[in-house]
Amino acid sequence: KVGMQTGGIDIAMLNVYLYLANSFTSGRRLVELRKELDSFGKQMVEYNQMIPNKLTLVIRRVVSNLVNPKDSLSLITDQDKGQEDLLEQAIKSNNYTFICHICTFGVIEAYIFGRYELAAEMAIKRQEVEKKTFTEITLSWLDRLL
C-alpha cells in the first residue's frame, strides 16, 4: 500500500507477487490464498502491471487446481494446456525467467498430483533454460524430490 501511495506501483506489485509466491511455497491455506490472488490480480490489471499479473496467473492456475482436486485428472489436463499456452508464449518471446517460473510451479503441481514423469521433465526443462540466464534459480531441494 505504501508503494502505491508514493507512486512506486511497479515495485509495489512486484512485491505483491513475491508475497503471493512465498505464501504458496510456505504452505498458506489455499482458499485464502486464492482470494488474495484474485484480488491482487484485479489490481494488477487495473494498474496495468502486466508482468506481475502474468507471473501471478501461473500461481492462480496451480492454486485453483489444488483447491478443486475432485476432478484432478481433468484439471491437470486443463492445467497442462493452459501452462503450454503460457509456455509457448514465453518461448516465442525468449522470456527465460518466465519459462523458469512456469516450469517451477508446474513441477510443484505435477508432483502433488503424482505426475512424477511430467514433474521431472519440467524440472529438466527449467534447468536447461536456467543455463541461459545470468543467475540460476536455486531450487535444488525441489529437484531432489524427483
Domain boundaries defined on the chain:
1-67, 71-146
Distance from C-alpha of 53 to C-alpha of 42, rounded to nearest angstrom: 9
Percent of the chain with pLDDT strictly greater than 70: 76
Which band of pLDDT confidence, cut at 50, 70 and 90, is reported for residue 43? very high
The mean pLDDT of 21-45, rounded to a whole number, is 95
Helices 9-25 & 50-67 angle (0-180, nearest 10): 20
- Of 18-27, 29-38, 61-70, 74-83, least confident by mean pLDDT is 74-83
Query: What is the pLDDT at residue 137?
Result: 53
Decide which of 39 and 81 is more confident.
Answer: 39
